[in-house]
Structure 1
């Protein structure tokens, strides 16, 4: 061998020796696994690895890059985003890339409903629940733990915490579940590389949306901030976008948005980005409005839809909302000129959960403080989150272990970030994560827990508590310090000893989701649960006589069946009662309009052919506004008091055609007593002889009923005061003397059951005796539900006593209690909540009905899930949250009739011996 060749070989040998020594040294050093030339030196044969390192010259170039990008935070060891890896199914035997065999996981055993609910599995579908149970089996295998959220306290009061740190989020979810919320419940999750590829957060999002509904994809980046990892939370961007990020070494101090990344079209000309919009109905584009700003052309399925201009002075963050046509599949944004975009939010326009993931590799609390405070505040407020999650600590712990920071600095940065969030969205809940566990490898190849994780976790707990935020100990849930070593051996952690693999991330997301659900279930339950069952309750025992009379009418037998309904809403809204009356009279026959309260002209009555007119000096008085209870009023709680020469006119069946009709009875109800004026009555324009005075003058107000035989349904009665005193008219009635239904509704807006109970009992009893109803219907509760001081015990006792008394006064009539429709009140933040007394009403009324032997029908239950909010969206509920539109009243009447007639058909199907005799 020549000296030159020998010298060359000596040089190569020396190089190889030095290379091998360096490789071994780095592989044993306490650095991230991704930086080790021999990744698994401590767990496998050394020689083959050394040979492979020496003989494979292209290994380094072929290996996927998992180190820090050159422009990432200096001294930051986290990978930008780990690429997705193929993992063995944990339900079957196999081995991980770490070389450790996996034991088979036993089949998932069924879980009892109570146990599932205690875990937090309620609301999940079959597939999601099975997946959750598999992760439960994995949790037990890994000795991970269910760690409850520490709710924190947003507002302290004299007696302790008055509102937990999660209250706004849970209240929003509850409003969503009950259909009282018309806008999405948004979550802003800020974090580091653990969520940059949407691991962990994907499980939380999917579970929350399955339980509470999906509001859409939410916020998406223009491109992956590091152009690595999964692209599930970003668009498909052209190559010329220029990134500016808060994780860069020297980011600008006055321009970065809340999202942490700005995407500029740069000097490479026009840029574009495409998104799959799927079921989205709106796209909100977030950008920087700046001097000299260019434009963004919006395309949907290749067709131009809208152009957004970004020129503005001074520079500030802005957004533009674009409505997407139904059936749209792709959205493309194409820039022109100087444009800086921050992202796009895709939402479907329906209430549901929207879960935004804002994760950046290398981030820690101090990094997000680099965002421009006005931009952070403006964009956070634009998103209107119900919950902000701050998920940091891993990089803080690493920096602490390298003595690049200290505990005081970590605490100050975390406190400042919490304060920035709270100042930006004071009405939102906030939740702070602890770091998860990580490991390092010693010079001797031993795996040990990373120093500082628990210390940082304790600081974050303190910061959360002081800032009014909830806290979740993810480190404790993972299994505390040292758990990363177990996760690595089971293939749940990447070789860098920091980042969980996909299955490990799923387990963390599973534990986080169930912690949320347990806290949600343990929080204050909804004030009103839809516990009153749908359908007509107790009809078989409460309405046998009524049904028997209906059966007789259907067979062409029997006589008039009077049904008298008292109430406020929905009785005082004619569409409900008219729809019920129309359906019953059509099927069983019409026995006349029945009782009509005195009063002035009414459009609602005119629509059904009844007209009223008051001429002269009249005063309308009602029981709601009465100075004191115990006064005599008409059945509807009103009375018309006329001065001398004043006249009251009531006409039935205005415009009805003349025809051969059955005999009928027209009745006038007045109030006689001391100082009463003289009554002159005309029927169909003809004066009727005055009634002889009573044997002795009345010493107290007394109801007097005058009846006149007539023919057919179209008649008019006029009462005129011809004396010196006042004339009090209570109402008039028209009854056809033929078999059929006489359905009459007497109502008073703003009335409650207490209003009816406060009427003078003898006057009320006299009118009931005159009407002879076979069925009394009570429709109160709507106005009671608005009372903050509603006493359940008093309502139960007083309403029950009233029903018992009126049944007796009516001669033993049967009874039916109508439960209140849903009633909501608008909060200052734009969301709806149950009226303050609704829970009491919904609970008490079924009890009153049962105790008094009445049938019960819940209007609120009939409205179904979503209640008033859903009916408002469908044009069936008024914007006041309290009343229904005419269309809503008619629909509610149809639901009531369906249940009433279904109960009647069940009665008809009974053997004749079971039919109960009734009056």
Structure 2
């Protein structure tokens, strides 16, 4: 009867002499009467539904026929999803991605790639577009944006890719009915997990929040559960969690239960409200009790309980007793990978999620520890705007508040804001036109994202712009409500969003460092004299090769150089242990039979502590300063039995100058005559060297301060006067090439002249790679000048530069990434070595190149700090260096005798 009266009134008013705008049905020239009557009937039916669910009726002028709010459309969307058409038969291309991968199809398996290429064909057919993400900026600096809006998420993904992250990379996707049944997100989740690994299903509701639509993101719940939702007309302001839904049991319908398929999960995390008079939850796996969770607590607050699931379990069941409020369950497998949570509610908009209880929202969001939060709203804002139920200012204010809430809750997470998609309305004349307000809301959200430091994706433009909903409807990609995509349309949106993420991810990734050549480089002329001496030693001729390696902790640890010294001495002969810096006792010296002992009051200083440059230090950048009465001992070849006792020379290096103490020296317990005083007293600290003839490799040198001032010892050396290799290793942990350059040039020159090395090995760069503001050009210039000067001081020694090892640094989330200046160091050092006429060897290339430190860590060869190696790692690296050195030497031996003899 109501319909009949409505139709009669509409026809009567349309035929009456009224202004055209007032007529329910326009003139026949504007369209057939039949569809207009149907539209009017549909409008009346929809208005009745809105009244039943508490949606305010439209009170303003209505040139458009009101469409269903998104609350109502979910059932329609799901009911028609399985019969959705893709608008025609689209041939499936062969699963081959363009090698340039400008779309973002990399790292997809064959089956997924085939689907993606099918989506590409559909995209072209529909006129949809690849729209790039606006990355936004999380942190601005003096030079511009210092951190993009998605960097925390992309950084976490890179850590997964390179094996440096053990925690899941979680995404929290908050949205409306477009994702309530996990459409759109299912495509994105599948692809992210295929590319980066799956860490499990993630967060699941107890039941579907509307008890309609697909249940893939919810458990199989008993019928007696009650729920309170933020989309309800008057939700309690102090109750609702970050999910927007609270499921309660223990009321008139009694205890309830819910069952979840475990899949590959190994842990279940239950989210609930701990409250006064709270009941309990029995947790069962395959029907067998695991534990009981108590929910009684005062005052009320959100809580969570983590339950370990038995191996091989298939189902997880929760059974309530008493008053219980559950919010959901997260199922994860404990593997590194992606977890993609869908938190979608029909009818939701940004302002709706502000109805959650702020403390609960913050606490539960932080418990999830997301790397990315996606805010996908706008459709209901545009609908409300088109009905004049809201204003642009209100939409912006609500979106700003939600972004602010997210950023305050999880400040370390990235955030990304969607625009609304396109929608259409049917006019009284039966025509389809774009819904008013969608582009305005999209522009508002773009501004909110930019101001809030979030990334932004224009889904409306990706869909095809305003009017695209009409094309989608005609091709079967949109439901008849003109709002919600069907399953195939949702898949296309997920496809476009996923590829936008992948393109932004690829663009944000730091440029990969060019692979360094392996093996020893620049050896054609740089090591001629070195190889010539090796050749003489190998032939049994009388020769000596002195090698002096200077560097940082890789050198100071002695593991690398000990391995090199032992191998070279075994093949070419041993010319003595060489130089040992003065310092504290060290277990790292024991494998070589060397020990140090300090008695009395000593201070061990190093060049990194120097407040002013130009001070005198030992070759290793250290010095030991002893007060009167203090003594120092350095023992060589301690506990060893020498087969022969060739003539040897024991040398002491110290600083003499104003105020120096009186020194007594003992060799093997016997005091030596005092050192004659210099002709004129020193006015500045000056390096002095005293050598004592001895025999054999085993000796003890003792220095005593007999008073009169402090005594500064730099080190000692033992050289065997026989053919062979002498390999000095002087390193200072934490130092750089500039540290060495700051040492008093005369002090270095005096010690190098005494050591007389024929080959200088420089191993700096690892510490430089950790300097964010490293000036690569300055490094090349100053390091090169230092090498040139020290070669002259050493009497024209040849040079070999060792580059940096692979160096990583760990973020607060446990993920690993390359040191900030690693690329600059890797590029600068080979160029500098070539310019100085030095040979060059890359430890990083020998380790395996790009992010090889992660593999060395897994194999027990790399230290947990991402910088140093283990003793086994240093020995392995020394083996690679020795192999490359000897391989170059073997090539040298094949040269014509005249060329091999060049170099002096």
Normalized against structure 2, the TM-score is what?
Answer: 0.82
Q: Does 1:888 align with 2:873?
A: no
Contact 2:270 2:305 in 1 (8 A): yes
Match for residue 601 of structure 1 among 560, 571, 585:
585
Q: In the alignment, what sits opposite 1:370?
A: 355
Instruction: Choose 617-626 or 702-711, whichever is displaced more.
Output: 617-626
Contact between 1:181 and 1:869, CA under 8 Å: does it hold in 2?
no
Q: Which moved more, 1:840-849 or 1:375-384?
A: 840-849
The corresponding residue for 1:207 is 191
Q: Deviations over 1:140-166 (max 9, x none)?
A: 221111223334455667887665544
Q: Contact conserved, 1:298 with 1:307, CA < 8 A, in 2?
A: yes
Say if 2:77 and 2:485, in contact at 8 Å, map to a contact too: no
Q: Which residue of 1 aligns with 2:765?
A: 781
Which stretch of structure 1 is more off in the superposition, 338-347 or 409-418? 409-418
Equivalent pair of 1:219/1:343 in contact (CA under 8 Å): yes
What is the rounded CA distance, in whole Å, between the counterparts of 1:505 and 1:27 in structure 2?
Answer: 31
> In the alignment, does 2:99 pair up with 1:113?
yes
Q: Flag the 1:132–1:539 CA change in 2: closer, same or farther, 3 A.
A: farther
Describe how 1:19-168 pairs up with structure 2 within 5 A: 28-29=38-39, 76-80=71-75, 82-83=77-78, 102=88, 104-105=90-91, 107=93, 112-114=98-100, 116-117=101-102, 119-122=103-106, 124=108, 128-154=112-138, 164-168=148-152
Q: Would you say 1:567 and 2:551 are equivalent positions?
A: yes
In structure 2, relative to structure 1, the CA distance for the partners of 1:911 and 1:840 (3 Å cut) is closer
**Which residue is 2:66 aligned to?**
none
**Residue 26 (structure 1) shift:** 9.2
For 2:411 and 2:629, how far apart are their aligned partners in 1?
A: 65
SS of equivalent to 2:609:
coil
Q: Distance in 2 between matches of 1:559 and 1:648?
A: 33
Name the structure 1 match of 2:595. Answer: 611
2:785 to 793, 796, 801: 801
Q: Secondary structure at the match of 1:320?
A: strand
Provide TM-score, normalisation by structure 1. Answer: 0.80
Question: What is residue 622 of structure 2 aligned with on the other side?
Answer: 638
2:84 & 2:106 partners in 1: Cα distance?
A: 35
Q: CA deviation at 1:785?
A: 4.2
SS at match of 1:514: helix
Distance 2:587 2:386 in 1: 80
Check the 8 A contact 1:849/1:856 in 2, yes or no: no
Report Cα offsets for 1:229-263 as digits up to 9, x if no partner. 33332334444433333334554443221112222
Give the alignment partner of residue 748 of structure 1, picking from 732, 738, 742: 732
Report SS of the residue matched to 2:693: strand
From the superposition, tell whether residues 318 and 640 of structure 1 become closer, same or farther in structure 2 (CA, over 3 Å).
closer
Q: Give yes or no for contact 2:264–2:333 (8 Å, CA) kept in 1.
A: yes
Counterpart position of 2:28: none
Moved more, 105-114 or 289-298: 105-114
8 Å Cα contact 1:825-1:835 kept in structure 2: no
Unpaired segments ≥5 residues, structure 1: 1-10, 37-66, 88-95
CA, structure 1 residues 207+31, in 2 after alignment: closer, same or farther (shift >3 Å)? Answer: farther
| Per-residue deviation, 1:769 | 4.0
The corresponding residue for 1:625 is 609
* CA–CA separation in structure 2 for the residues paired with 1:910 and 1:277: 65
The superposition leaves residues 672-715 of structure 1 with CA deviations (integer Å, 9 ceiling, x where unpaired) of: 7566666654332344566777888878724424142312x322
Distance 2:84 2:600 in 1: 98
* 1-structure distance, mates of 2:189, 2:533: 57
Deviations 1:792-839 (A, max 9, x none): 322211111122233344443331323155253656x87777666555
Q: Which residue of 2 aligns with 1:425?
A: 410
Output one character per residue of 1:834-864: Cα deviation in whole Å (capped at 9) or x when no partner: 6665554344333323333321324498376
Instruction: Mark the CA change 1:577 to 1:483 in structure 2 (over 3 Å): closer, same or farther.
Output: same
Against the structure 1 CA distance between its residues 28 and 796, is the aligned structure 2 distance closer, same or farther, given a 3 Å change threshold? same
Within the alignment, does 1:862 sit opposite 2:847 as a pair? yes
**Match of 1:844, SS?**
helix
Aligned with 1:198 (options 182, 187, 191): 182
Q: What secondary structure, in the 3-state scheme, does the structure 2 residue paired with 1:819 have?
A: coil
Aligned to 1:5: none
Q: Distance in 1 between matches of 2:785 and 2:433?
A: 75
Q: Distance in 2 between matches of 1:471 and 1:179?
A: 29
How far apart are residue 191 of structure 1 and its match?
1.0
Of 538, 561, 564 in structure 1, the residue corresponding to residue 521 of structure 2 is 538
Q: Which residue number corresponds to residue 912 of structure 1?
A: 894
More moved, 717-726 vs 345-354: 717-726
1:472 aligns with 2:457: yes
SS of the residue corresponding to residue 571 of structure 1 reads helix
Of stretches 554-563 and 143-152 in structure 1, the one that deviates more from structure 2 is 554-563
Shift of residue 288, structure 1, vs aligned partner: 1.0
Query: Where does residue 315 of structure 1 map in the other structure?
Result: 300
User: Deviations for 1:45-84, whole angstroms, at most 9, x for unmatched residues?
Assistant: xxxxxxxxxxxxxxxxxxxxxx999879786432247438
Closer, same or farther: CA 758–430 of 1 in aligned 2, 3 Å: closer
Q: Equivalent residue for 2:19?
A: none
The one of 351, 360, 372 equivalent to 2:345 is 360
Give the CA deviation at 1:789. 4.9
**2:274 aligned residue:** 289
- Note if contact 2:90-2:121 (Cα within 8 Å) is conserved in structure 1: no
Tell me the distance in 1 between the aligned counterparts of 2:700 and 2:652. 14
Q: Summarize deviations over 1:852-901 as a string: whole Å, max 9, x none.
A: 3321324498376657778778877767x4754xx634324413523541
Quick check: 1:901 aligned with 2:883?
yes
Q: Is the 8 A contact 2:860 2:873 kept in 1?
A: no
2 CA distance for matches of 1:581 and 1:330? 62
Match of 1:648 in 2: 632
Check the 8 A contact 1:270/1:334 in 2, yes or no.
yes
Look up the SS of the partner of 1:669 in the other structure.
Answer: strand
Alpha-carbon shift at residue 220 of structure 1 (Å): 1.8
CA contact (8 A) 1:393 1:453 kept: yes
Q: Give the direction of change, closer, same or farther, for the CA distance of 1:544–1:357 in structure 2 (3 Å limit).
A: farther
* 1:97 Cα deviation after fit: 6.1
The question of whether the paired residues in 1 share the 8 Å contact of 2:376 and 2:419 is answered with yes
Structure 2 regions of 5+ residues with no counterpart?
12-32, 57-68
The number of equivalent residue pairs is 853
**Closer, same or farther in 2 for the Cα pair 1:303/1:571, shift >3 Å?**
farther
Give the one of 285, 291, 294 matched to 1:306.
Answer: 291
